[in-house]
A and B are shown apart, each in its own frame.
Chain A
Amino acid sequence: DGGITQSPKYLFRKEGQNVTLSCEQNLNHDAMYWYRQDPGQGLRLIYYSQIVNDFQKGDIAEGYSVSREKKESFPLTVTSAQKNPTAFYLCASHEPISGYTFGSGTRLTVV
Chain B
Amino acid sequence: RKEVEQDPGPFNVPEGATVAFNCTYSNSASQSFFWYRQDCRKEPKLLMSVYSSGNEDGRFTAQLNRASQYISLLIRDSKLSDSATYLCVVENYGQNFVFGPGTRLSVLP
Contact = CB atoms under 8 A, between A and B. Distances in A.
A83 B97 CA distance: 26
A45 interface: yes
A105 B99 contact: no
B42 A33 contact: no
Interface of chain A: mostly helix, strand, loop or mixed: strand
B57 to A, nearest CB: 14
Given A98-B46, A105-B42, 13 more contacts: A40-B101, A42-B87, A43-B87, A48-B96, A58-B96, A88-B41, A90-B43, A94-B97, A100-B46, A100-B89, A102-B44, A103-B43, A104-B42
B96 A33 contact: yes
A84 interface: no
B31 to A, nearest CB: 11
Interface of A: 33, 35, 40-43, 45, 48, 58, 88, 90, 94, 98-100, 102-105, 107
B34 A99 contact: yes
Interface of B: 4, 8, 34, 36, 41-46, 49, 87, 89, 96-97, 99-102
Contacts of B97: 94, 100
A35 B96 CA distance: 12
Q: Which 7 A-B pairs have the closest CB atoms?
A: A102-B43, A42-B101, A43-B99, A42-B99, A99-B46, A105-B43, A104-B43
A2 to B, nearest CB: 15
Contacts, number: 39
B103 to A, nearest CB: 11
B99 A99 contact: no
13 contacts: A35-B99, A42-B99, A42-B100, A42-B101, A43-B44, A43-B87, A99-B46, A100-B36, A100-B44, A100-B97, A102-B43, A102-B45, A105-B42
In this complex, the member of B34, B43, B45, B102 whose beta carbon has the largest number of chain A beta carbons within 10 angstroms is: B43
A107 B41 CA distance: 9
B71 to A, nearest CB: 15
